[in-house]
Homo-oligomer: A and B are copies of this chain.
Amino acid sequence: MPKPWKKHSAALRSDHRIFQIVAEHFESPRTGKMLDATIVVAPDWVNVVALTDAGQCVLVRQYRFGTDLVTLEIPGGIIDPGEAPRAAAERELREETGYAAERWTPLGSIAPNPAFERNRLYSFLAEGCTRVGVQQQDELEDIEVVLVPEASLDQLVAEGELDHALVVVALQKLTLLRRGHTIR
């Protein structure tokens, strides 16, 4: 079984608000060779599969700087310092969509990309969602709320309309939960 490498040092290279670049110096446990690795260190994230009792899923459409495209996603965002994942999920759902949920179920957590990213995504199922107010966006946000039938989500993933790996993860965890799996 492969062994972990030994970390000798870590140094902040640059800070970009939503993530930091950290240079780390590792020693191979097998060969003793040294390697410099650059890690994207970010706060943990949340996302939410938000369902209404009428069988609709609450999605958000917004412009994304990374892909330079307008995307369709489930609500989500960055967990604030000291904030619990569930509280962040409730907050992001409320801010981005104006919706609140009656019932919350954790859908586990996952590493977005173990190769070079150091943070976790926590996913949640929010059921009994209803609109309780207006969106709370800052002046730079421009999020459109889109309701789609829950039954169409698989098709939206297959055809690439839901074009976001972390959205697919949350939907897949929900599928597994409903098939009786315990989700960690």
Contact = CB atoms under 8 A, between A and B. Distances in A.
B168 A154 contact: no
Task: Give the number of copies in the complex.
Answer: 2
Interface of A: 1-5, 7, 13-14, 16-19, 21, 24, 26, 28-31, 33, 35, 37-40, 61-71, 73, 108-118, 121, 139-140, 142-144, 154-155, 157-160, 163-166, 168-169, 171-173, 175-177, 179, 181-184
Contacts of A65: 5, 24, 26, 37, 39, 115-116
* Minimum-distance CB pairs A-B, first 7: A158-B181, A64-B114, A16-B38, A37-B65, A160-B184, A67-B114, A66-B116
A163 B114 contact: yes
A31 B137 CA distance: 13
A61 to B, nearest CB: 6
